[in-house]
Structure 1
Amino acid sequence: MSSSPTSTLPTNGNAQANGVKANGVNGHSKAANGSSPNTKRKRVLIIGAGCSGMSAAYSLSLSPEEFDVKVYDRSPSTGGSATSTQLPDPKRFNADYINDGVQGASPVFHNTFKMFDKVLGFQATEVGLQISFGKGKETFWSNVFPSELVEHFSADIKKFGRVLQHIKRFEPIFAVIPVDRMLKLFRFSPDFGERMVFPLVALFFGTGNETKHISSAILERVFLDPSMRLFEFSEESLLASVPTMMAFPELSRVYGAWRRKIEENGNVAVETSREVYEIHRGTKEAKKQGGHILAKTRRVNAKEEPLTGPDADERIEVFDELIMAADADSALKILSAGSGPTWRERKVLGNVLYKWDVTVTHSDEEYMRRHYELDYQPAYNAKREDADSKKAFEYAEKNWRPLYLIKMYEKDPAFIEMSFDLTHYQPQFQGTSPVGSGARIKEGQAPPSEREGTTSQGKEATTGQHLDPDQKEPSYSDHVFQTIYLNKEMSDWWTKDEVAKEKVILEKWWKQQSHRWQHYAFTVPFMWAINQAGSGTHTSFAGAWSLVNMHEVGIASGFSAAYALGGKYPFKEDEECARLFRLYYALSHMSRMRGEDRKGFFA
């Protein structure tokens, strides 16, 4: 969400005089249980329909007698960065769509997969995570087999494992020590950081070219924390050989089904292409209507530009509580356009640093070969004769299918460009159903209603009729790649113009959070100070940016914001899910689960 300048909100309650439609006390339709709008249910506004906003809405939808909820997002589809896009030539690529923002997750993302599978009926697909970092014999390495570079850094890799344990032991200290300083502190080789650690961090977090500045503690967490772990550490190759990742089903179907699910009890309404551009809290106008939050909203077009005249459908609505499930920048802008943020909100939200990246989805094999290693090269093998290494070499020769590829800029290897081979990563290219193999929901029950790249937001999307489940692996000329150029400020380093224009499928800009150490010193520890559901500002903040940029954290944050209002945590009986929820809720809301939802005082 974002804001734009508007006129001052009228204080005499004469909203119609300003040409803005003012809703009544609730501004909501009758609930499914037949209660009238005057029933004293909590009126909740959720700004943002990404994974955090949708999770909060799902939690509140489970109590239709207690909550009356509106979810607004200025994007034309739900899902936030979890979007799907129509492919232009399904027969050529053997797929009719791609997930173009969020690709998949670690199997330990228990809340994510519980929501997808048990609630919505979708099934993720297992895929072996193979990486290809560097170009040429001297700089290439992978987790699939030991290369000469891995052999060169073998001592550093073993020491790195010991250092992770030290960081875990003294985590509060290392939370404010950036990775580059940590590497110097423990006297690692500079080349080890540039060639192995920094690109690995970029893969973990999508940190752009801010990788040197992320917190050492959060790096340790993705190796050792059971709720956040992405990869197993290996003393032999840094990453355990070919860990299992879960590739998501078609996200436009997932989020379309999610929208229908949260609306089915009648107390939640989701509206996309609607911008919240001003928030006033604790004003006379809000209090006059028995609430605390006064929101000004309007319709936007497909480019997310405000409409004018009657098409704008401008509204003034009053709510009791606000959940801001937008990025920190946008939340601050919306608050600043209205009655203003508190000094705490200004400090905490203003500390989150964002960078603009651009992704180019394309089918340019020549570009990929010029900058990355696509094929297995026996000449790159480490000079090892042990049985495990020989087995790895044999496996690579038969099964080399890299998903993640990273190029270091030679003028400074700490800075990178990264790519995905979507044909290797996403299961629809192998003929797997867009809802997932073995999914409980059927394709016809989950149309791609949120899919982008169609004439009418998914209504004209093809639905798999061109796919051939028996088609063999296509040649690289028919693969779909996605290359990410990091940090707009560094665009003079980019090789984006080398991608053949006729082979570009999609170009899209993304706002990416930087996990710099300051984030863990001045934002994460103080989220509880600005989360004031039910008191003070009547505002809670949700989003993966509040901790670490992962879909799983986004979901936990949304559940936490709703839970703080009295909503239900839907997976309290599942310990694997509840572990992260408890940790997040304690950290960001300074509270523990309600007595009926926990086992024991400290649980």
Structure 2
Amino acid sequence: MASEIPRRRILIVGAGAAGMAAAFTFSQHPDKFEVRVYERSSQPGGMATSFPIDRTKYGADYINDGVQGASPVFHNTFAMFDKLGFKSSEVDMQVSFGRDAETEFWSNVFPSRVIDQYKKDIKRFGRVLKIIKVLEPIFALISVSTMLRMFGFSKDFGDVIVFPLVALFFGTGNQTPFISSAILERVFMDPNMRLFEYSPESFLASVPKMRAFPRLSYIYNTWKEFVESESRGSVKVITNREVIRIKRLSDAKNASDSVEVWSRATKGTNVDQEVVDPGEEEKEVFDDMILCVDADSALKILGDDAGWLERKILGNVKYLWDVTVTHSDQDYMEKYYRVAYDPSLESQVGRDSPEKQERFKFAKENFRPLYFIRSHPEDKKKIEMSFDLSVYQPQFDGESPFGPDGKPVIGPLLSEAPNAESSSKDVSTDKKRVYQTIFLDHAPESSKLWSKGDINQDEIILEKWWKQQSHRWQHYAGTVPWMGLINGRRHTYFAGAWTVLNMHEIAIVSGFGAAYQLGASYPFTNNPECKRLFALCLAANHMSRMRKDDRAGFWS
């Protein structure tokens, strides 16, 4: 009788979207892998966190404070949620850009007077998108600000229209002028990322549908229990444990006991993302390791063991620190944004056309923006963003934390959640709206413009710092094309949204990809919509195709 092949011991560092996706992928093979996931904080989920609030005061008993929702084309995200028994909620993506009626305000809900000023630029923009699509490899290395100058767009068109839009969708913040032009094209034309429909008349043609997430803390806790159960104990997600450093012992592909790991217990992390009360270091040995942390943290863990290529590729990723203030200060919002419809904002050019009259009528009855964006008057390339969580998140309308018709696959959570019908019965009619304002980049040249001090301290619910990746064009020149040169080398894999683009969907797919390269099965092979992006990310992150049995053609 042949001897039993020993299971490979895998360490996943980080239990965010990428780490949990990798853990789920391994859980399908309890006889092949023994997996440990170490997470330094007290909860899985990474940036996808929830926070409790007073339901009688605000109209709901929690908020999702790090990730709000996603485009409907995030197929892997929603397939994973479905598998866990959670459903997203449909919401109209209304956006309010700027405040001043003459120089700033525009919206995708109705055409404004500001849009009238940029008619020529808007028409030219559609032609430029087609050029960028054809020459994408070249424009991937050209920043948006440079591209706008190349094609003769006015400076104000970039400051008022283009930069705020891209910052909104990709979370690029104050780095938007420096991001790759290829990202801008994909906002409108990529089937896996497209959200907005371009209009040569009003720039944005419609109010797209978004999907608001159910309670993220419930999703990720269910995810943890699910992978541990499905794997029959071969996968364990261990929170409150931080990996400090590693040493790789072998370069041989199938070698065992190849990675020495030093880790320590913690008491979680605080709102500044710092570890609380770390314990003594302990040493373990694994066969392979997946680092599902940001590039900075990966380099810190690798330490002196990092190779030249790893230092070059990971060190090229730039990070910024932002702070979110969740609050109920209505005066602040009305001072800096347009939160309500005003007929004086309407476009004056061709305003009597049936199409425009229909959009004006719709706005008068239904203007409820989810997103608010404004440029700082002193430097219009620098912006501030806010969300109306009371509109965006479905629990404020009494929806179940599992989402419509959601039922978690792991039972205990069912007894924890309020009934959807009764969840709003004890809410006062004068409940306060809950907003979240993001102040971008704590560097002095940006933070000196912040209006954070104008928010009434008595209205602040939560203040939290976040480490955010920059999408500058250098990221697509010095990191993304070269990830395949370091992934899988020396028994080390890297996963996370930063490997391509800062999106929950990319994070999940990158986690699937790392586990797939170690021999696990891609979980959604029979779903062509999921599989399309997975194949693209596998090529980008690992310079690899799907295995022959998993693809219909040469690539997928």
TM-score > 0.5 by shorter chain: yes
3-state SS of paired residue (1:537)? helix
Partner of 1:488: 442
Aligned partners of 1:226 and 1:431: how far apart in 2? 33
Partner of 2:193: 228
* CA positional deviation for 1:443: 10
Partner of 2:373: 406
Alignment of 1:521-600 (within 5 A): 521-532=477-488, 536-600=489-553
* CA positional deviation for 1:306: 5.8
Partner of 1:305: 275
Partner of 1:64: 30
Partner of 1:44: 10
Partner of 1:520: 476
1:70–1:268 contact (8 Å) kept in structure 2: yes
Question: Relative to structure 2, which stretch is displaced further, 236-245 or 400-409?
Answer: 236-245
Instruction: Provide the aligned length of Structure 1 versus Structure 2.
Output: 542
Q: Does 1:132 align with 2:99?
A: no
3-state SS of paired residue (1:55)? helix
1:348–1:522 contact (8 Å) kept in structure 2: yes
Question: Relative to structure 2, which stretch is displaced further, 274-283 or 387-396?
Answer: 274-283
Aligned partners of 1:239 and 1:69: how far apart in 2? 46
3-state SS of paired residue (2:387)? strand
Partner of 1:453: none
Partner of 1:169: 134
- For 1:82, which of 48, 53, 63 is the aligned residue? 48
Aligned partners of 2:435 and 2:276: how far apart in 1? 33
Compute the TM-score of the two structures, normalised by the length of structure 1: 0.86
Q: Does 1:478 align with 2:445?
A: no
Give deviations 1:177-197, integer Å, cap 9, x for gaps.
Answer: 000000000000110000010
- For 1:291, which of 231, 234, 257 is the aligned residue? 257
Residue type at the aligned position of 2:221 = G
- For 2:174, which of 202, 209, 226 is the aligned residue? 209
Partner of 1:95: 60
Residue type at the aligned position of 1:538 = H
Give deviations 1:542-563, integer Å, cap 9, x for gaps.
Answer: 0000100000111110000000
- For 1:446, which of 410, 413, 417 is the aligned residue? 413
Compute the TM-score of the two structures, normalised by the length of structure 2: 0.94
Aligned partners of 2:227 and 2:409: how far apart in 1? 19
3-state SS of paired residue (2:109)? coil
3-state SS of paired residue (1:414)? strand
Aligned partners of 1:432 and 1:443: how far apart in 2? 20
Q: Does 1:241 align with 2:206?
A: yes
1:208–1:512 contact (8 Å) kept in structure 2: no
3-state SS of paired residue (1:209)? helix
2:222–2:410 contact (8 Å) kept in structure 1: no
Root-mean-square deviation over aligned CA pairs: 2.2
Aligned partners of 2:51 and 2:422: how far apart in 1? 16
- For 2:87, which of 123, 128, 138 is the aligned residue? 123
Residue type at the aligned position of 2:169 = F
1:59–1:568 contact (8 Å) kept in structure 2: yes
Aligned partners of 2:506 and 2:138: how far apart in 1? 23
Distance 1:144 1:529, change over 3 A: same
1:435–1:442 contact (8 Å) kept in structure 2: no
Q: Does 1:385 align with 2:352?
A: yes
Aligned partners of 1:589 and 1:283: how far apart in 2? 20
Give deviations 1:153-179, integer Å, cap 9, x for gaps.
Answer: 122112111111100100000000000
Distance 1:513 1:547, change over 3 A: same
2:257–2:286 contact (8 Å) kept in structure 1: yes
Aligned partners of 2:355 and 2:180: how far apart in 1? 34
Give deviations 1:224-260, integer Å, cap 9, x for gaps.
Answer: 1111223222222222321000000000011011101
* CA positional deviation for 1:305: 3.0
* CA positional deviation for 1:214: 0.2
Aligned partners of 1:200 and 1:58: how far apart in 2? 34
* CA positional deviation for 1:444: 6.3
* CA positional deviation for 1:397: 0.4
2:398–2:421 contact (8 Å) kept in structure 1: no
3-state SS of paired residue (2:173)? coil
3-state SS of paired residue (1:478)? coil
Gaps of 5+ in 2: none
Gaps of 5+ in 1: 1-35, 450-460
* CA positional deviation for 1:81: 0.4
Distance 1:447 1:51, change over 3 A: farther
Residue type at the aligned position of 1:274 = R
Give deviations 1:37-81, integer Å, cap 9, x for gaps.
Answer: x96111000001000000011001100100000001111111000
